[in-house]
A and B are shown apart, each in its own frame.
Chain A
Amino acid sequence: MSATAPLTWRLARVRETVDETPTARTLVLDVPGWRGHRAGQHVDVRLTAEDGYQAQRSFSIASAPESDAVALTVERIDDGEVSPYLAGDVRAGDELELRGPIGGPFTWSVDDGGPLLLLAGGSGLVPLMAMLRHRAAHASTIETRALISVRRPADAIYRAELLAIGPREGLDIRWTYTRSPAPEPGGWSGRVSAAMLAELGPPPAVAPRVFVCGPTGFVEHAATLLVDAGHDPLRIRTERFGPT
């Protein structure tokens, strides 16, 4: 077994906060000593109350490894313990404790190659966004398809940035709206379906690397559609978001 240095808690300072949607906020963090990460990894964040009580949770990294800051996007869950604080109370200049990066199977780098298929439910887009940003940072033309399921256009995080980077060579990013018609051409309405996946591609025959992230119901549904369509289960990586 390889000896590995412990993942120590580091002090992160909030450089800025960015409201992505009415319920999701990005924290852009300066983390002195950060050793870099792979797209798709997450960190643990620890908060400490005045009386010493602590709470820690995991959050996916939204920024590309090439970024000079670590960005986390937090969806506020109203009855959550940690997310209302991070997505509501935190201000630029605040300090947080953080350790990571963590996670190996749910990561991708341009060196891994493609084709790539990314399926996101709601804020499950966060780790997939790190992959898309990493791909863009390398001006990669690796064949990449992404489908993002949200309730309504106003719930779609990173929408302006994604509309700005796509479509271009090798990249096709689509949204489906479960409670609204699609405002943009190429968009869909309704739950992710076999027909949407067939139209989007890449087909199982070219054995894409598939990453699926979102709430459990979304992940179970999407992964089942993929397996039924003939994708190799071993090429499908999943990550599920729970309320925190």
Chain B
Amino acid sequence: MPPISRGFRGRRPDVDPSRLPPGQYLTRDFPVLSYGPTPHTPLDQWSFTIDGAVDAAASWDWEQLTALPAENFTVDIHCVTKWSKLDTTWTGVSLDTLLESVDSEAEYATAWSDGGYTTNVPLADLTDGQAWVVYAFDGEPLEPEHGGPARLLVPHLYFWKSAKWVRGLSLTLDDEPGFWEVNGYHDYGDPWREQRYQGD
């Protein structure tokens, strides 16, 4: 039994508790977390590439990516630092659309970003309408501190998997832990199983 924190009342969330994963609290702000300076890559030098264990790599420049069929969708997001934000609305391209362009036997992907960030996700978690490359939040261009011009969005995993400033996916046959994953964070990161750290 955990000790009772004498006099602690807490603030119960005013939402359906089934929408908050264990250990999370609700925020209306949009906190910013990153381990280094915010990169500012000009759009005319931006591209998104899928390479690695593929027959032939595929790449899109900014105009090409934003010309692809876009989806508007609303999801809840959950950060490992404990905040959750409900009903966030994004615009972007489904990874199903992007992955159609490559043939691969890979089972994993490493997303990589400007600034050197990487994170690993099983390919099965990036398909079937579960992941996007997004470039707008609430109908406005995605701000650099929130990952603009474009970030990965994989809302069913902790938010560190939704790589900011994403520039590509490198597909791999084996699981290759990324930046936080080699720094003690969980390899998969399911918020509903509270997989925050290795061993959780």
The distance in angstroms between the C-alpha atoms of A65 and B82, with both chains bound, is 25
Contact of B38 among A7, A58, A106, A223 (CB under 8 A): A223
B34 at the interface (CB under 8 A from A): yes
Contact call A49/B5, Cβ cutoff below 8 A: yes
Which chain A residues lie closer than 8 Å to B10 at the CB level?
47, 49, 53-55, 81
List CB contacts (< 8 Å) of B5-29 with chain A. Answer: 5-12, 23, 25, 29
Indicate if B33 sits at the interface (CB-CB under 8 A): yes
Could you say which residues of chain B place their CB within 8 Å of the CB of A237?
35-36
| Residue numbers in B under 8 Å from A49 (CB-CB) | 4-5, 8-10
The number of residues on chain A lying at the interface, defined by a beta carbon within 8 Å of a beta carbon of chain B, is: 46
Residue among A81, A236, A243 having the largest count of chain B Cβ atoms under 10 Å: A81
Q: Are B2 and A46 in contact (CB under 8 A)?
A: yes
Whether B116 lies near A234 (C-beta < 8 A) is: yes
Q: Which of A224-244 contact B (CB under 8 A)?
A: 224, 226-227, 233-234, 236-240, 242-244
Cβ of B31 under 8 Å from chain A = yes
A55 CA / B84 CA spacing, docked (Å):
13
A-contact bits for B80-99, CB 8 A (1 contact / 0 none):
01110000000000000000
Query: Shortest Cβ distance from A29 into chain B, in angstroms?
Result: 13
The answer on a CB contact under 8 Å between A94 and B199 is no
C-alpha spacing A236/B12, complex, angstroms: 38
With both beta carbons as reference points, the residue of chain B lying nearest to A81 in the complex is identified as B11
**Contacting A7 at CB < 8 Å: which of B35, B187, B197?**
B197
B145 at the interface (CB under 8 A from A): yes
Stretch at the interface among A96-104, A125-133, A152-160: A96-104
Give Cα distance in the complex from A28 to B9, angstroms. 23
Interfacial chain B residues near A240, Cβ < 8 Å:
31-34
Query: Beyond A94-B6, A220-B38, is A58–B81 a contact (Cβ under 8 Å)?
Result: yes
Contact between A85 and B8, CB atoms less than 8 A apart: yes
* A33 adjacent to chain B (CB < 8 Å): no
List 6 A–B pairs whose Cβ atoms lie within 8 Å, in order of A's numbering: A6-B199, A11-B3, A89-B8, A237-B36, A239-B35, A242-B31
